[in-house]
């Protein structure tokens, strides 16, 4: 029975959507966030306890987790590009911070921890679709860090009385993402400001885009699932979308099909092609994404445009 959940990074993009879902399920929720990047306004008027703690502060975590049966660990730096330019900070927050969270969860008697991992960056350049048995060969510090965290999750599950589940996210989009700097936000900003869209590479590189509502359904299913002491699930759409196709969808949705595109040199650390099979999550968790990319992008862009301060 999931009664009390603490969400690290709960004031961020995925967190603020997930907190709403958990509250709708009747679960008591606390948010632990450093507010380095999370936004308090995303949680305004929600009935949640807010604990301002940085996951690098090991001494503060165990007291914060005490009394909670479940932890959903979302707090992280999520940029591949930033991890290449500053691998030390990425390691400090993502790897050392996750070790602190796991250690504190054990000390506080937490029953289960759900960890937010990644599919593309962790596995690297592999022939898609990837799945839970694909060989990880990360090509960025971000991907390497997430692989390290998955290893620690498995080790803690085997060494201590803590169930861990690693959920490998596809590329997530949706509302409450105004502070993000990813491709969808950048494309929309450039369309609205009349500037050429910038694509790194020739536009053939691909990703798997999942709406945050579908992702949160998968996280909740992993949280509520009762069997297994340590497991990994890909939460993805199963659809491969190239950067050029993404640009075309967004240009068409904006009524500007001929908006210019500028092609730049490909960036170090970015995988070429990636999309994932979610068959295992469907089989075990009953996971099934429902929101089509075209519809979800239109909804997301409308939300962003209504919150111009987000840019």
What's the mean per-residue pLDDT of the chain? 95
Domain map (residue ranges) of the chain: 4-173+209-238+280-285, 183-206+242-274+293-310
2: confidence class by pLDDT, cuts 50, 70, 90: confident
* Domain 183-206+242-274+293-310, CATH homologous superfamily name and number: UDP-galactose 4-epimerase, domain 1 (3.90.25.10)
Residue 227: what pLDDT?
Answer: 77
Report pLDDT digits (tens) over 144-188: 999 999 999 999 999 998 999 999 999 999 999 998 889 999 999
Distance CA 119, CA 145 (A): 12
Task: For the beta carbon of residue 64, count every other beta carbon within 10 angstroms.
Answer: 21
Report pLDDT digits (tens) over 130-145: 999 999 999 999 999 9
User: Considering the domain 4-173+209-238+280-285 in this protein, what is its CATH number?
Assistant: 3.40.50.720
Residues taking part in catalysis: 142
Average pLDDT over residues 292-297: 97
Give the CA dihedral 187, 190, 194, 195, nearest 10 degrees.
Answer: -100
Average pLDDT over residues 207-221: 98
From 92, 105, 103, select the one nearest 6 (Cα to Cα): 105
Average pLDDT over residues 107-116: 97
Q: Are 136 and 81 in contact (CB under 8 A)?
A: no
- Fold equal for 4-173+209-238+280-285 and 183-206+242-274+293-310: no
Residue 311: what pLDDT?
Answer: 42
Cα 161 to Cα 151, 157, 229, 247: the distances in Å are: 16, 7, 9, 47
Average pLDDT over residues 301-311: 77
308: confidence class by pLDDT, cuts 50, 70, 90: low
């Amino acid at each position: 029975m999931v009664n009390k959940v603490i969400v690290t990074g709960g004031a961020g993009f995925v967190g603020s959507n997930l907190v709403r879902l958990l509250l709708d399920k009747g679960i008591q929720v606390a948010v632990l966030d450093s507010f380095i990047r999370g936004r308090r306004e995303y949680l305004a008027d929600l009935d949640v306890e807010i604990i301002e703690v940085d996951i690098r502060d090991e001494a503060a975590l165990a007291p914060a987790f005490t009394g909670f049966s479940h932890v959903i660990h979302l707090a992280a730096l999520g940029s591949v590009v930033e991890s290449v330019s500053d691998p030390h900070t990425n390691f400090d927050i993502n790897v050392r911070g996750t070790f602190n969270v796991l250690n504190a969860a054990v000390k506080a008697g937490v029953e289960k921890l759900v960890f937010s991992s990644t599919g593309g960056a962790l596995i690297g350049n592999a022939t898609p679709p990837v799945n839970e048995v694909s060989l990880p060969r990360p090509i960025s510090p971000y991907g390497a860090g997430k692989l390290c965290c998955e290893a620690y999750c498995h080790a803690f599950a085997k060494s201590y009385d803590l169930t861990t589940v690693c959920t490998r996210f596809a590329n997530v989009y949706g509302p409450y993402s105004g502070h993000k700097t990813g491709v969808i936000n950048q494309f929309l900003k450039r369309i609205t400001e009349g500037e050429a869209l910038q694509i790194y590479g020739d536009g053939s590189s691909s990703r798997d885009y999942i709406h945050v509502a579908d992702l949160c359904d998968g996280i909740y299913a992993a949280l509520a699932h009762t069997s297994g002491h340590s497991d990994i699930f890909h939460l993805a759409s199963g659809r491969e979308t190239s950067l050029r196709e993404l640009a075309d969808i967004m240009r068409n949705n904006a009524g500007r099909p001929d908006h210019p595109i500028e092609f730049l040199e490909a960036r170090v650390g970015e995988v070429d092609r990636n999309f994932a099979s979610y068959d295992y999550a469907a089989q075990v968790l009953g996971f099934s994404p429902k929101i089509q990319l075209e519809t979800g992008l239109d909804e997301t862009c409308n939300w962003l445009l209504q919150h111009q301060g987000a840019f």
